[in-house]
Each structure stands twice: as structure tokens, then as C-alpha cells.
């Protein structure tokens, strides 16, 4: 059953991405009430425009109840493209509660003519395609490293913002401190560490694309982990498209 769509009712953004933060900024600047939901994985998240709530909802039922109880006018799933569970829960809960929903997801990177990509479905498959003797740069969060522990004939180079509390369970590895850089610094890193393979997820966006360009320029194969699922339509690829969708819902 549809509920009346009132412009002073809140928009709920399922967040955890730069796009979610940008959307919250755009909507609050227009005077809309915004609640951003975070899973609670980050210890000290940066403050966001509007209200913030933290923690899971308790599956589809929990999210549907939240949407109803808080009279959410539009639900925007702006979670990371690899947050598959939440992106499956969002359309189901929206349907149950009769809440308009949009998925805001940045486009995936596309293979260019001179890219040498090996397309794989997950980290386990990425592990399996690395040849013995490879020096692999794993551009992955520490929670995604476990499958690579199987390989004791590959040297792994990891980039981490902070030194991990416990050493990664990888037989042969080194840690490079820092964040993704520009094409020049990514090229220097791949060359300097004698990387033979880059392993990364197809996150899309500009923030970490320089390493893909560097690998292309150096002729290094990229083991590209594809996204877990296609987003459920309607989908906006940019914050501007999401704002337009919300405006259309509010003016309907
Ligand atoms: P996930 O596997 O899709 O979700 C697992 C569970 O975490 C969900 O069922 C939900 O619990 C809860 N959850 C996820 N996102 C939530 C949110 N925005 N607000 C409230 N609860 C949320 O998600 P994930 O891959 O662990 O990602 C968690 C968060 O980190 C997301 O917000 C995502 O945008 C952000 N993030 C993820 C990645 C990534 O690589 N996956 C990268 C950068 C940022 P209930 O079922 O109890 O509601």
C-alpha cells in the first residue's frame, strides 16, 4: 500500500560511500530531511550532512518496518557496489513497505582496448589464476585477503592505510603504507615493487582508477573481480540523477 509522499518526510540513504555523502549534502542543501544509515563497520565515521543512524536493520523485515515507522518518502540504496546483501534487501523491503526506491551505483570500469584484464568472480578465483612465482599487488581490504593464504609460491604486496594489528596470514608479503595515488605514483609503485599482476575489485569511480591506468601503461595483467550482482532498477549512476529521481517522486 502506498503512503502519502510528503516532502517533509525523510529520505533514507543507505550509505558508506562518497556518493551517499554527496547526495546527503545535496538534499539537505535543498532543505530536505535526510537520514543516512551506516552499517557501523568504520570506528569513527566522518560526520555527514543530516541525521545519521548506525547498525543493521535486521534483514528485509527490519528495514521494511523502519521504512514504515519513520515514514520514509524515498529509499536510496547508495551502498558500495560490492555490498550485495544490503542491495538485495533494499528492493525487497521497499516493495513490502510500498516505499519508492532508487539504487545509486557508480558505473563499473570498462576494459579499454589495451587493457589486459582477467575477469574473475571472487577472491578465490583470483587466487587460482595467479601463476607460481608471481608478485601480486592486492588492492583489496584486509577482510578480503584470506583466500590468498593458500598460495605460498606467490609474493603479495599489500597497501594499507594503517599498519594491521595482526600480520596478514600470507606466506610471503610486504606492506606498503598509504592510500591510492595518482598515475605517476601508482606507476612508480608497480614498477618499484616489480609487480607482475594487479588484483582488484571493479569498484568504479575515479578515486582508485590510477592503478588501472598504470597497469595498462606497464602492460601488467589485472585480475579484475567483477561486481557480485547487477543493481535492481531503477538505477542512478550519478548524484545528479539521484536528485532528479527524488525530485520527481516528491512532485508526483
Ligand atoms: P552487505 O554485505 O551488503 O550487508 C551485510 C549486512 O550489513 C546487511 O544485511 C545489513 O544488516 C548491514 N548493512 C549493510 N549496509 C548497511 C547500511 N548502509 N546501513 C545499515 N546496515 C547496513 O554490506 P557490506 O559489504 O558489509 O558493507 C557494509 C557497508 O560498508 C555498506 O554501507 C557499504 O556501503 C560500505 N562499504 C562496503 C564496501 C565493500 O567493499 N563491500 C566498500 C566500501 C564501503 P541487516 O540485514 O541487519 O540490515
How high is the pLDDT of residue 142? 87
How high is the pLDDT of residue 8? 84
Nearest CA to ligand 1 atom 43: 80
How high is the pLDDT of residue 5? 47
CB of residue 66 inside a 6 A radius of ligand 1: no
Q: How far is the CA of 84 from the centre of ligand 1 (A)?
A: 8
Q: How far is the CA of 15 from the centre of ligand 1 (A)?
A: 8
Say how far apart CA 240 and CA 146 lie, in whole Å. 38
How high is the pLDDT of residue 35? 98
Nearest CA to ligand 1 atom 5: 85
- 185-196: string of b/e by CB count within 10 Å (b at 16+)? bbbebbeeeebb
pTM of the model: 0.91
Q: Which residues contact 192 (CB under 8 A, 6 or more apart)?
A: none
Centre a 10 Å sphere on the Cβ of residue 1 and count the other Cβ atoms it contains: 5
CB of residue 85 inside a 6 A radius of ligand 1: yes
Q: Which residues contact 97 (CB under 8 A, 6 or more apart)?
A: 64, 65, 67, 68, 72
Local mean pLDDT, 10-residue blocks, the chain (252 residues): 62 96 97 96 88 98 98 97 97 98 97 97 98 97 93 96 83 93 98 98 94 98 97 97 97 86
How high is the pLDDT of residue 95? 98
Centre a 10 Å sphere on the Cβ of residue 75 and count the other Cβ atoms it contains: 23
Q: Which residues contact 78 (CB under 8 A, 6 or more apart)?
A: 13, 14, 15, 16, 17, 19, 20, 23, 104, 105, 242
Say how far apart CA 135 and CA 190 lie, in whole Å. 10
CB of residue 202 inside a 6 A radius of ligand 1: no
Say how far apart CA 1 and CA 5 lie, in whole Å. 12
Please count the helices (runs of H) and the strands (runs of E) in the chain.
7, 12
How high is the pLDDT of residue 79? 97
CB of residue 209 inside a 6 A radius of ligand 1: no
Quick one: how far is CA 218 from the chain centroid? 26
Amino acid at each position: 500500500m502506498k503512503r502519502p509522499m510528503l516532502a517533509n518526510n525523510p529520505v533514507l540513504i543507505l550509505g558508506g560511500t562518497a556518493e551517499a555523502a554527496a547526495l546527503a549534502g545535496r538534499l539537505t542543501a535543498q532543505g530536505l530531511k535526510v537520514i543516512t544509515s551506516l552499517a557501523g563497520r568504520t570506528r569513527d565515521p566522518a560526520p555527514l550532512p543530516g541525521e545519521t543512524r548506525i547498525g543493521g536493520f535486521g534483514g528485509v523485515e527490519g528495514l521494511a518496518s523502519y521504512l514504515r515507522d519513520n515514514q520514509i518518502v524515498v529509499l536510496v540504496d547508495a551502498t558500495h557496489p560490492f555490498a550485495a546483501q544490503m542491495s538485495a534487501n533494499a528492493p525487497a523491503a521497499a516493495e513490502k513497505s510500498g516505499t519508492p526506491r532508487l539504487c545509486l551505483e557508480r558505473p563499473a570500469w570498462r576494459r579499454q582496448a589495451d587493457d589486459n584484464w582477467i575477469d574473475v568472480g571472487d577472491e578465490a578465483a583470483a587466487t587460482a589464476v595467479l601463476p607460481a612465482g608471481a608478485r601480486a599487488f592486492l588492492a583489496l581490504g584486509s577482510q578480503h585477503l584470506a583466500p590468498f593464504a593458500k598460495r605460498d609460491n606467490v609474493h603479495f604486496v599489500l597497501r594499507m592505510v594503517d599498519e594491521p594489528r595482526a600480520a596478514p596470514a600470507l606466506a610471503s608479503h610486504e606492506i606498503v603504507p598509504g592510500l591510492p595515488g595518482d598515475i605517476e605514483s601508482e606507476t612508480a609503485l608497480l614498477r618499484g615493487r616489480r609487480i607482475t599482476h594487479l588484483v582488484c575489485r571493479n569498484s568504479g569511480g575515479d578515486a582508485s582508477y590510477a592503478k588501472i591506468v598504470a597497469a595498462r601503461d606497464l602492460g601488467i595483467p589485472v585480475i579484475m573481480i567483477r561486481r557480485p550482482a547487477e543493481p535492481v532498477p531503477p538505477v542512478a549512476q550519478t548524484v545528479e540523477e539521484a536528485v532528479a529521481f527524488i525530485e520527481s517522486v516528491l512532485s508526483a
